[in-house]
Amino acid sequence: MPEHPDEQAFQTPRGLGRAAFHAMGTTVSLFAPTDALSAARRMTCALFDEWERALSRFRPESELSRLNASAGLRVAVSPLLLTTLLKALDAARATRGVFDPTILQRMIEIGYDRDFVALPARLPAAPAGRRGRTGAWREVEVDEERRMVRLPAGVGLDFGGIAKGLAVDAALDQLVENGITPALVNAGGDLAAHGLPPDLPSWPIIAPGRDERWVIGLERGALATSGLERRHWMQGDQSRHHLIDPATGDPSASGLWSVTAVAGACAQAEVAAKTALILGAKRGARFIETARLGALLVERSGAWSAVGAWPSAGMRPLAAHATGAAGATSEPEVIE
C-alpha cells in the first residue's frame, strides 16, 4: 500500500510512457503507449517545430514576422498561417474583441518585445507618445480562396496562446490518426487528451490556484490556464504582464489571478481562460456559463470558485507531500 493517498498517482500509468522536448517557449510533454512513444515524440516534435517556425513573432524569419512587416500590403500566406488567423478572428468575434490577436504593437510598447526567457525583470520606463491600437482585428482583410491577407498599416498579429492550443490539438489529432491512443499532449499547461489511461477512469491533472493546487480528473477534451504568476515584469515603476485588456490597452486589472478552463479542444480552452480572466470574476463566470464550458476562477486574494462544467466532483486538494513530489508550478500538469 502507498504510504500517502497521492503516492500511487505519481506512477506513470501502466502501459504508457512520457516524452518531452522544448518548443514554443515552453516544455511540451506527451503520454502515449510505450511501444509507440518514440514515433509519437518524433511526430509531435516535428509538428511543433513547423508551427513555431511559421508562427513565432520572436523569429524575424518566421512567416508571421514577414506578414507583420508587410502590414498595409496584400500578402500570400501558407495554409497553416491562414487557418490560425481565421481561428483567431473567429475567437475575436466570439468574445466580442476581448480576445484580440492584433495587439502586437501594444505588447511591444509595454516591453514584451522578445522571448520571455530573454526579457529582463526590469525595463526602462515606456516612452511617452502614441499607444498602439487594439481592436484592429475587424479591419484585417482575408481572401481565403487566394490565401491572401492584408493587415491594416501599423498593425501586427500576436497569436499567443491560441497558436499553442491549436498546435496541441493538431498534434493530438495526428497521433490519433496514426493509431496512437490513448494519448495526451501538454504544452506548458495547455493540454488535450484522447482515450483514457489503462485502468484509470480519467487523466489525473493538477490544477493551479494561487496558494494551493488541486487534483481533478479529465475524462476527455482539453484544459488550459491563463494567469499572472509566470509572465510579469517591471517597466519603470509600472508592473506589467502579458494579458492585455483591449478595452484599456493595458495589462488586465480584473482582480483575477488565474483561470483554468475545460473545453472540447485546447484552443477553445485557451481562449476561454484568457477571456474570462480579462473580464473578471462575475463577467468571466457568465461568459464561461453562456459558452457551456467550465472553469476554475482564482482571485488575487487566493479565493476561488468553480463555474459551469468544471469537474468539481472528483476535485481534491493536492497534499503537501505531493506538491513537493510534483514540483511547484502555476500551470496544469499531469500527475505521474
Pairing of strands 250-251, 183-187: unpaired
CA nearest 303: which of 261, 255, 260, 270?
255
| Structural domain boundaries, residue 212 | 7-334
The answer to whether the CB of 252 falls within 8 A of the CB of 244 is yes
pLDDT, residue 329, reads 44
Per the domain annotation, does 68 fall within a domain? yes
Burial (CB count within 10 angstroms: exposed 0-12, middle 13-18, buried 19+), residue 122: exposed
pLDDT, residue 325, reads 27
Q: Using only C-alpha atoms, what is the Rg of the chain? A: 20
For 324, residues 6+ apart whose C-beta sits below 8 A from its C-beta are none
The residue assigned the cell 502579458 is 242
How far apart are alpha carbons 71 and 156 in whole angstroms? 7
pLDDT, residue 323, reads 40
Per the domain annotation, does 2 fall within a domain? no
How far apart are alpha carbons 292 and 277 in whole angstroms? 17
- Looking at the 3D structure of the chain, how many domains does it have? 1
CB count in 10 Å sphere of residue 283: 14
| SS (HEC) of 70-105 | CCCCEEECCHHHHHHHHHHHHHHHHCCCCCCCCCHH
pLDDT, residue 321, reads 40
Per the domain annotation, does 1 fall within a domain? no
Per the domain annotation, does 43 fall within a domain? yes
Per the domain annotation, does 289 fall within a domain? yes
Q: What pLDDT tens digit does each residue of the chain (336 aa) get?
A: 233 333 334 457 788 999 999 999 899 999 999 999 999 999 999 999 999 999 999 999 999 999 999 999 999 999 999 999 999 999 999 999 999 999 999 888 887 778 877 878 887 888 876 676 788 999 999 999 999 999 999 999 999 899 999 999 999 999 999 999 999 999 998 999 999 999 899 999 999 999 899 999 999 999 999 988 777 788 887 788 788 899 988 888 899 999 999 999 999 999 999 999 999 999 999 999 999 999 999 999 999 999 999 998 889 888 644 443 223 345 566 655
The domain spanning residue 195 has which CATH number? 3.10.520.10
Per the domain annotation, does 12 fall within a domain? yes
- 270-to-163, 167, 192 alpha-carbon distances in Å: 9, 12, 11
pLDDT, residue 158, reads 94
pLDDT, residue 145, reads 97
Per the domain annotation, does 303 fall within a domain? yes
